Chains A and B, each alone.
Chain A
Amino acid sequence: MKFSRRQFLQLGGSTALATSVGCDSTISEQLWPYTGGPHQVGSSFFSPSSESIDLISHHLNRLTFGPRPSAEIQKQFFQKTNERRLSDYERVSSLGETTEEAIEAYIKEQLQPDKIDDSFCDFYLQCFETLVLPRGELFEYQEKLLLTELTCATLMRSVLSERQLQEVMIQFWTDHFNIDQSKGDCRWLKAWDDREVIRKHALGKFPELLRASALSPAMLWYLDGRKNVKENQEDRPNENYARELLELHTLGVHGGYTQDDVEQVARCLTGWRVQGRKSGNFYASDIGKVGFRKDLHDDGEKKILGRVVPAGLGKGDLDRVLDIVSQHPSTAKHIATKLCMRFIADEPPQDAVSTVAASFQRSGGDICRTLQTLFQTGQFQDNKGNKFKRPFNFLVSSLRATGATINRTNDSWHLDRHPLGKYLLRMGDAPFQYPTPDGYPQEISPWLGTLLWRWDFALKLSQNEIKGIKIDKQQQQEENVGGADQLIAHFLGRRATDAEQKTYGESGNGLALLLASPAFQMC
């Protein structure tokens, strides 16, 4: 039985697909002196047609937060003419003569984010005033506002940015160098860490990322590095950061270090301080500034992983420690394992891990080259549709797949009153809020209790019941699109089976059921 797209959507009592993105708030009206913001009008599908997930859909699933339909978009508010944006599937297909060439070109493009025009997303982000503040000025803002803006900006970048692989890697490194925003001055400084550590180095060199993180004032707060001092002979170092540096950030828990190494690393890192908030006669620009106090540093000789750090290096100890740990082969293996878990499978094939680790080690921790190696492995090409979308990724991929309109609802500074923030909190996947330093898990099992909320979101999104988010019914243009089977293929990355077509077509709520389906939870 064939259903037309209109039938499919009408049966649902809800319709889908197409979009505009804008701000409905007073601030946005000042920014965009006309209603609605930049518009996307109309949409259509150019969908995969093979029985299993095809290679282009596979790459879109893994390198991005999910494929979008095509749309008419008005890029700048002063432009009168609309520009047609192809669906992601169609655009990637058009990048090469063959599928392989197209994919190669797409990966190359995504690995050079600075060359990708992202003006549409940038334009939207102007709503968030705290994103560009100098470090000291962050402290003039309410911490709740900072968290809400940072979270919403992260969500919106994941939905809107054309630099999708960069956003995916930002999510990865945010977890790898996890900081819970609620601890101490992290409430202000995480925003700076996000910009200057994670985003800046997400596709850069691992040693530079690691160094930026080690000297990030938010990290010094989060893992007590700022409290790790040796003032008197009997002072014992605070081992918190040193341990996580070895266990989580570099070598991995079975990477071959001992309790003694932890202590020696902690000794090397004594004396790094962060300028606090209530210290009296400082200009605002000094708050959160990181500095080294030689008098609080343990300057004796240390031995780390069999290598001697001579006495008297002072602040030079830090670079010595980071060199030793970032060049250690266990670090390459640890990072490779985590990358393969993210991009290939929860239990990553050891062949792939070895290949990726070798590339990481050879390139001195060059993240782009490491990723390129990963995407070329046979194991990456073969493992399709086997990764469970964690809640954040489920929400974002739903919004992308439906081309939903998202207003910036800034009537509250509280994330728990934000329509999308609420879902993230209930499903336990709100960015910057994971309490322990290991970051949100990447594998399926911890997330299996979240299905109820996914189904709830699917229902409400399809029925336009989420405040500030809209799937546009009026802009449906029947002539642009194929039947329900095309729509389903767009969501699943493959042709629907006859049984699936029948279930969705007859459901009475096709779109909600698609979003809630087991197939759409996977990527």
Chain B
Amino acid sequence: MRGGADGLTLVPPIGDSDYWRKRPVLAVNENTVVRLEGEKRFGLHPLLAGLTEPYSNGDLAVIHCVGSEDSTRSHFEAQDLMEHGGVNTPGGWLGRFLRARPGIRGGPLSAVAFGKSIPECLRGAPSVTALQSLDDFSLGSNIGQFIEQLDSLYGCWGKDVALHSAGMDTIKAIRCIEKLDRKSYQPEHGAEYSDHPFSRGLSQVAQLIKAKVGLDVASVDLNGWDSHWAQDILMDQLISELSQGLQAFYRDLGQKWMETVSVVVMTEFGRRLYMNSSLGTDHGRGSVMFVMGGGVKGGRILSDWKGLKDDVLEGRGDLPVTTNYRNVLVPILERHGAHDLSGVFLEYELSPLLL
């Protein structure tokens, strides 16, 4: 969720009277907020209702007041730190994770970014491909010889190692996807993806997973959370897309696949508690993360909630970060085969959450 998604709107702290008092205009509607069984402190935004299904099945956990140690409140610094998994660290945390697993070597479709470019978190992966649609992946018929020639040109290109690798990855990916039946994908279990690029991205991730093409990680962006003004209008649509996309993906994969697939939803920072002069909020600190599937002990909202009193808030009124995002990721990466995480999250003392 690029742009800094407001955790106080996604998962409002309905049990905290200061929330209603200090956010009189932008608080969620008390009557329509989704209330969760056994959970007094927090609710879900009404448009996030699609997440109640995985939540009540115990397949979705929410972590509140989560974020990074970066306090610049700059999108680029915060995303950079979050995606790199450290300051001045080479490559991204997902990229390093793919290299850290013992005995596993990523294939051509090991890491796929659905979007126009490769996100920083995937930097340094053994192989990474950006595509906007699986249909994109064809140069037409009769290009076998051309690909052979490119193979030899890029294969012996020693000047720029990154360009050499990108060329080889692209060739491998073309050959692999050529074998896929791209046109006839039918989601299962009545799942309905919308036409939004976020939903479409998730449906193609599902297709790649089921086709067993060797996908290890995929990233899908849902952009535009930077709600400096008219926050309600701006967020409503994004929340609906988030909810619908995740719900469709959860249903489509079904229990069998969801046991082995972890979905992590994150954002670079949350937003200020107080509204600014244009019905929006400015950059803040803590926000929320969602973790779905992959054996997570869900149906819970994990938070070291310290309230919204002025002496608790950070800076000009920002939700403090009480859980570092790395500590959410660690148990997930461990379940996916990483044993030594010191090479993934460098120069940081980890104290993983029990997820």
Task: Give chain A's interface residues, CB within 8 Å of chain B.
Answer: 224, 227-231, 235-240, 243, 247, 253, 259, 263, 385-386, 388, 425-428, 435-436, 438, 444-453, 455-456, 459, 503, 507-509, 512-513, 516-519, 521-522
> Do B129 and A449 touch (CB < 8 A)?
yes
- In the complex the two chains form, what is the Cα distance from A445 to B161 in whole Å? 11
- In the complex the two chains form, what is the Cα distance from A521 to B115 in whole Å? 21
> Do B116 and A513 touch (CB < 8 A)?
no
- In the complex the two chains form, what is the Cα distance from A459 to B129 in whole Å? 20
Chain A residue numbers with a CB within 8 Å of B174 are 452
With both chains docked as a complex, state the minimum distance between the C-beta of B104 and any C-beta of chain A, in angstroms. 22
Partner among A227, A253, A459 whose Cβ is within 8 Å of the Cβ of B229: A227
> Do B163 and A236 touch (CB < 8 A)?
no
Partner among A227, A448, A451 whose Cβ is within 8 Å of the Cβ of B278: A227
Partner among B77, B154, B166, B282 whose Cβ is within 8 Å of the Cβ of A239: B282
> Do A522 and B163 touch (CB < 8 A)?
yes
> Do B223 and A240 touch (CB < 8 A)?
no
Q: Contact mask B117-155 → A, CB, 8 Å, 1/0? A: 110000100001111100011011001011001101110
- In the complex the two chains form, what is the Cα distance from A448 to B122 in whole Å? 12
Is B184 an interface position by the 8 A CB rule?
no
> Do B277 and A518 touch (CB < 8 A)?
no
> Do B229 and A426 touch (CB < 8 A)?
no
Chain A residue numbers with a CB within 8 Å of B146 are 455, 459, 509, 512-513, 516
Partner among A428, A455, A522 whose Cβ is within 8 Å of the Cβ of B139: A455
Chain A residue numbers with a CB within 8 Å of B77 are 253
> Do A253 and B72 touch (CB < 8 A)?
yes
Chain A: CB-nearest residue to B317: A236
> Do A451 and B153 touch (CB < 8 A)?
no
Is B170 an interface position by the 8 A CB rule?
yes
Partner among A428, A445, A513, A522 whose Cβ is within 8 Å of the Cβ of B149: A513
With both chains docked as a complex, state the minimum distance between the C-beta of A415 and any C-beta of chain B, in angstroms. 14
Q: List 27 A-B contacts (CB under 8 A).
A: A224-B229, A227-B277, A231-B277, A236-B274, A236-B277, A237-B276, A239-B283, A247-B76, A263-B316, A385-B159, A386-B160, A388-B163, A427-B116, A428-B117, A436-B3, A436-B75, A448-B118, A449-B128, A503-B152, A503-B153, A508-B145, A509-B146, A513-B149, A518-B159, A518-B163, A522-B160, A522-B163
> Do B72 and A447 touch (CB < 8 A)?
no
Is B228 an interface position by the 8 A CB rule?
yes
Chain B residue numbers with a CB within 8 Å of A239 are 282-283
Is B197 an interface position by the 8 A CB rule?
no
> Do B282 and A518 touch (CB < 8 A)?
no
Chain A residue numbers with a CB within 8 Å of B280 are 238
Given contacts A236-B316, A243-B283, 19 further A-B contacts (CB under 8 A): A227-B228, A236-B277, A237-B277, A238-B276, A238-B278, A428-B115, A446-B118, A448-B118, A448-B128, A451-B170, A452-B131, A459-B139, A509-B146, A513-B146, A513-B153, A516-B153, A518-B154, A521-B163, A522-B159
Chain A residue numbers with a CB within 8 Å of B159 are 385-386, 518, 522
Chain B residue numbers with a CB within 8 Å of A230 are 277
With both chains docked as a complex, state the minimum distance between the C-beta of B74 and any C-beta of chain A, in angstroms. 6
A240-B228, A435-B223, A452-B139 given; A228·B117 CB < 8 A: no
Chain B residue numbers with a CB within 8 Å of A240 are 228, 282
Chain B: CB-nearest residue to A223: B228
Partner among B117, B131, B145, B316 whose Cβ is within 8 Å of the Cβ of A446: B117
Is B307 an interface position by the 8 A CB rule?
no
Is B50 an interface position by the 8 A CB rule?
no
> Do B162 and A229 touch (CB < 8 A)?
no
Chain B: CB-nearest residue to A516: B150
- In the complex the two chains form, what is the Cα distance from A426 to B139 in whole Å? 14
> Do A449 and B118 touch (CB < 8 A)?
yes
- In the complex the two chains form, what is the Cα distance from A451 to B136 in whole Å? 12
Task: Give chain B's interface residues, CB within 8 Å of chain A.
Answer: 2-3, 72-77, 113, 115-118, 123, 128-132, 136-137, 139-140, 143, 145-146, 149-150, 152-154, 157, 159-160, 162-164, 166-167, 170, 173-174, 223-224, 228-229, 274, 276-278, 280, 282-283, 315-316
Chain A: CB-nearest residue to B279: A227
Chain B residue numbers with a CB within 8 Å of A451 are 166-167, 170
> Do A452 and B282 touch (CB < 8 A)?
no
Chain B residue numbers with a CB within 8 Å of A236 are 274, 276-277, 282, 316
- In the complex the two chains form, what is the Cα distance from A357 to B146 in whole Å? 46
B-side interface mostly: loop
> Do A513 and B74 touch (CB < 8 A)?
no
Partner among A427, A444, A512 whose Cβ is within 8 Å of the Cβ of B162: A444
> Do B132 and A426 touch (CB < 8 A)?
yes
With both chains docked as a complex, state the minimum distance between the C-beta of B3 and any C-beta of chain A, in angstroms. 8
- In the complex the two chains form, what is the Cα distance from A513 to B118 in whole Å? 25
- In the complex the two chains form, what is the Cα distance from A468 to B29 in whole Å? 54
With both chains docked as a complex, state the minimum distance between the C-beta of A235 and any C-beta of chain B, in angstroms. 5
Chain A residue numbers with a CB within 8 Å of B140 are 459
> Which 8 residue pairs of A and B lie closest in terms of their CB atoms, listed nearest first?
A428-B116, A449-B130, A448-B166, A227-B278, A518-B157, A451-B170, A235-B277, A446-B117
Chain B residue numbers with a CB within 8 Å of A388 are 160, 163
Chain A residue numbers with a CB within 8 Å of B117 are 428, 446-447, 449-450
Chain A residue numbers with a CB within 8 Å of B145 are 508-509
> Do B132 and A455 touch (CB < 8 A)?
no
> Do A229 and B277 touch (CB < 8 A)?
yes
- In the complex the two chains form, what is the Cα distance from A244 to B140 in whole Å? 44
Chain A residue numbers with a CB within 8 Å of B283 are 239, 243
Chain A residue numbers with a CB within 8 Å of B228 are 224, 227, 238, 240
Chain A residue numbers with a CB within 8 Å of B167 are 451, 518
With both chains docked as a complex, state the minimum distance between the C-beta of A369 and any C-beta of chain B, in angstroms. 30
Chain A: CB-nearest residue to B274: A236
Chain A: CB-nearest residue to B163: A518
Chain B residue numbers with a CB within 8 Å of A385 are 159
Partner among B76, B152, B224, B229 whose Cβ is within 8 Å of the Cβ of A435: B224
> Do B163 and A444 touch (CB < 8 A)?
yes
> Do A253 and B118 touch (CB < 8 A)?
no
Partner among B115, B160, B278 whose Cβ is within 8 Å of the Cβ of A518: B160
Chain B: CB-nearest residue to A228: B277
With both chains docked as a complex, state the minimum distance between the C-beta of A159 and any C-beta of chain B, in angstroms. 23
Chain B residue numbers with a CB within 8 Å of A445 are 118, 123, 162
> Do B149 and A444 touch (CB < 8 A)?
no
Chain A residue numbers with a CB within 8 Å of B130 are 428, 449-450
- In the complex the two chains form, what is the Cα distance from A228 to B276 in whole Å? 9
- In the complex the two chains form, what is the Cα distance from A446 to B139 in whole Å? 22
Chain B residue numbers with a CB within 8 Å of A426 are 116, 132, 136
With both chains docked as a complex, state the minimum distance between the C-beta of B228 and any C-beta of chain A, in angstroms. 5
> Do B277 and A238 touch (CB < 8 A)?
yes
- In the complex the two chains form, what is the Cα distance from A258 to B267 in whole Å? 23
Chain B residue numbers with a CB within 8 Å of A518 are 153-154, 157, 159-160, 163-164, 167
